[in-house]
Amino acid sequence: MNILDELKNNLPANAKISEVMFEASEIVLYTKNKSFFIDNEEYIRKIVSNLKKRVEVRPDISITGDISKVEKIIKEIVPEEAGIKAIYFEPEMGKVVIESQKPGLVIGKGGETYKKLKERTLWLPKIERAPAIDSKVVRAVRNLYHTEIDYRKKFLNSLGQKINTEPDKKVDERDRWVRMAVLGAGRQVGRSSILVETNYSNILLDCGVDVSLDRYPYLEVPEFNISKLDAVVLSHAHVDHCGYIPWLYENGYNGPLYCTAPTRDLMVLLCLDYIDVCQKDGRSAPYMKKAVETAVKHTIAIDYGEVCDITNDTRLTLQPSSHLLGSSLVHLHIGDGLHNILYTGDLKYGPTKLFDPAYTNFSRVETIVTESTYGGPNDMMQQMKESHERLLDLVNKTMKRGGKVLIPSFAVGRGQEIMSILAQSNFEYPIYMEGMLFDATAIHTAYPEYLSRGLQKEIFHKGNNPFVYEKLKHIVHRERDDVIDSTESCVVIATSGMLVGGPAIEYLKAFASDKRNMLLFVGYQAEGTLGRRIQKGHKEIPISARNGRNMSLPIELEVETISGLSGHSDRRQLMNFIYKLSKGTKLERVVTVHGDNYTCVEFARDVHRSLKVETITPKNMEVMRLR
């Protein structure tokens, strides 16, 4: 029996269901019965228990309240202190979206306010948090979803029908297989991309760009066929993991992209910036801006811990990886217990100012595909407390001698970590951030529930939001010279994090000749980058002048590195993470990627010695059978 027909048979006769549709892995019922729309929990609980699917009841457009009156009712019911910023309607889905600075007040204690909204308006309320700092990206993404409702409704229904197609029963269980092709990040950091194949599914995990050398995943291999790709899962929004995803949509892929909501928004920010950087460097970007928009239209944002069918034989669960806002460990449950893969993306198995340690409470994992960026024998970072103290000591030392501190940073992650540390220490000097750092920080204010429990407590209960600290100042390009020429000591946090471009280069040119100043590295510096050269001790570096010619830049300022602020785990944390997982699961193998050749091999060898499980260190384009 068709799953939708089975559902209809379990509904009361007076439910007056006008339409039953899939919405990806969920099922949506549209009802003309006002009472059933308002009170259906008992029936839906039974259906969910029986079908093992999430089910939502929405009002048929014929019973929804008049839009002009409903808006007044909402403002009457919701307390003014909730800070409603926008109200807009999605008639195709029977939803009213309420964007509020304090969503908890829109829901109310025990959900009472939410229930009143349903009863009085006969619309299904959807609550979204308004960013504390206005974000053009968040606004653009939400507007796109709103304007493309009709398309998304059809897309999600079509996807749901595909997901709920029964697998071919002719395939003998003994002939079921799972294999994996490494299309990027094999014995290298950059262009992460893993293809997971089963008898029925082709799933791509990440699709990034090697920004240091401008290289892309090996999508020309025989294993990859874009027309057969069923789903793409994005672990997090750094360009080396997401930067090539829009290319897929520009070249024929029209399937789903799964990630968390903040990952989606940050992906938009970083991919658009990547296009701009390519154009400024005189290179052709691999895709147009329209492709980024198309990727958003096909994105399905899921929460941590939400189990989601993404093909007819694979279930996806995302859990916190604690690397950056919205970053996820990707768990794939294939078949009815056939095989379980955990792809770490990038992870931090230790507390930071922004996040709690990565999640480890998985019940089944047979294969771990883990990053090994800092998995080498000598890769040991400072403890968090020591790192924070050293940061403050170095910065304050520079302030006292009348200097300026330049902190090259990725737009997402370390920049916000530094801001948070300085803000919570009541730092008294200006903290300047330029361009994308400001935009990324604005996105952080839209999703505080993805931050650490401690930071949530500061924001929600104490009203101390480090991202709106009074000393934080956003500057635009035309104000840069004012900061450079000023005699006042300050901290400048600027992209790019590896000094391969961006405003950080311009500040370095200005700051490099003054011994009072400091260049402070707080993140990974890849081989071949300008950042790695300086970190190694080069006292002169080639750099482009404003007239386009190359010049030699003497490095006179103090250069320091703080390793403990990285969003990656060091060797000790990586070993502890895998050890913890091995104790609660039937771990069979560990695959090491996302590290240089030496690091991947050494880390795999140490894992094998410690846990006595199979370890594999694949090169790019290698394929391995997992089951």
* Sign (positive or negative) of CA dihedral 304, 310, 312, 314: negative
Say if residues 348 and 322 touch (Cβ distance below 8 Å): yes
* Average pLDDT over every residue of 10-30: 90
Cα–Cα distance measured from residue 603 to residue 583, given in angstroms and rounded to the nearest whole number: 19
| Sequence-separated contacts (24+) of 448-451 with Cβ below 8 Å | 448/129, 449/129, 450/260, 450/262, 450/320, 450/325, 450/326, 451/325, 451/354, 451/355
Separation of alpha carbons 377 and 380, rounded Å: 8
Distances (CA, A) of 571 to 124, 294, 343, 372, 599: 48, 39, 17, 8, 10
pLDDT for residue 503 is more than 60: yes
Domain boundaries, the chain: 3-62, 64-130, 156-166+173-378+568-625, 384-565
Does residue 1 register a pLDDT over 60?
no
Instruction: Inform me whether the pLDDT recorded for 340 exceeds 90.
Output: yes
* Fold match flag (3-62 vs 384-565): no
> Whole-number mean pLDDT of the chain?
93
- Under DSSP, the state recorded for 133 is S
Residue 378 predicted with pLDDT over 80: yes
- Integer-rounded Cα radius of gyration of the chain: 25
Mean pLDDT of 35-45: 90
Query: In 204-339, which residue ranges form alpha helices assigned H by DSSP?
Result: 239-242, 245-250, 261-280, 289-297
Tell whether omega for the bond before 496 is within 30 degrees of 0, i.e. cis.
yes
pLDDT at residue number 546: 64
Query: What pLDDT, on a 0 to 100 scale, did the predictor assign at position 584?
Result: 80
Has residue 309 got a pLDDT over 60?
yes
Length of the chain: 627
CA within 13 Å, CB half, 547:
3
215: DSSP letter: B
Q: What is the pLDDT of residues 113-127, one digit of tens each?
A: 999 999 999 999 999
Is 70 exceeded by the pLDDT of residue 547? no
Cα 170 to Cα 140, 153, 230, 309, 310: the distances in Å are: 47, 33, 21, 22, 22
Residue 52 token pair: 């093992």
CB 237 within 8 A of CB 266: yes
CATH architecture type of domain 64-130: 2-Layer Sandwich (3.30)
pLDDT at 605 exceeding the cut of 80 = yes
The CA distance from 124 to 390, in Å, is 51
Query: What class does CATH assign to 156-166+173-378+568-625?
Result: alpha beta
Mean pLDDT (whole number) for 35-41: 92
Q: How high is the pLDDT of residue 580?
A: 95
- State the pLDDT at residue 382: 86
| pLDDT over 70 (residue 464) | yes
Helix, strand, coil % over all residues of the chain, rounded to 5: 40, 20, 40
What kind of architecture, by CATH, is found in domain 384-565?
3-Layer(aba) Sandwich (3.40)
Angle between helices 112-121 and 67-77 (to 10 degrees): 160
Spatial neighbors of 563 by CB under 8 A, at least 6 apart, are: 374, 381, 382, 387, 570
Percent of the chain surpassing pLDDT 90: 80
Which one-letter amino acid corresponds to residue 490?
C
Q: In whole angstroms, give the CA distance from residue 319 to residue 525.
A: 27
**Quick one: how far is CA 327 from the chain centroid?**
4
- Architecture per CATH, domain 3-62, reads as 2-Layer Sandwich (3.30)
- Tell me: the pLDDT tens digits for 559-600? 999 988 888 999 999 999 999 999 888 899 999 999 999 999
- In the three-class reduction of DSSP (H, G, I as helix; E, B as strand; rest coil), residue 500 is classed as coil
Instruction: Please compute the mean of the pLDDT values over residues 373-380 and round it to a whole number.
Output: 93
- For residues 146-166, average pLDDT: 94
Distance CA 269, CA 217 (A): 21
Tell me the C-alpha to C-alpha distance, in Å, between residue 103 and each of 88, 130, 259, 306, 402.
15, 9, 22, 20, 44
| Mean pLDDT to the nearest integer, 437-457 | 95
Asked if 27 contacts 55 with a C-beta cutoff of 8 angstroms, the reply is yes
Residue 528: left (phi > 0), alpha (psi -120 to 50), or beta?
Answer: left
Q: Give the 3-state secondary structure of residue 237.
A: coil
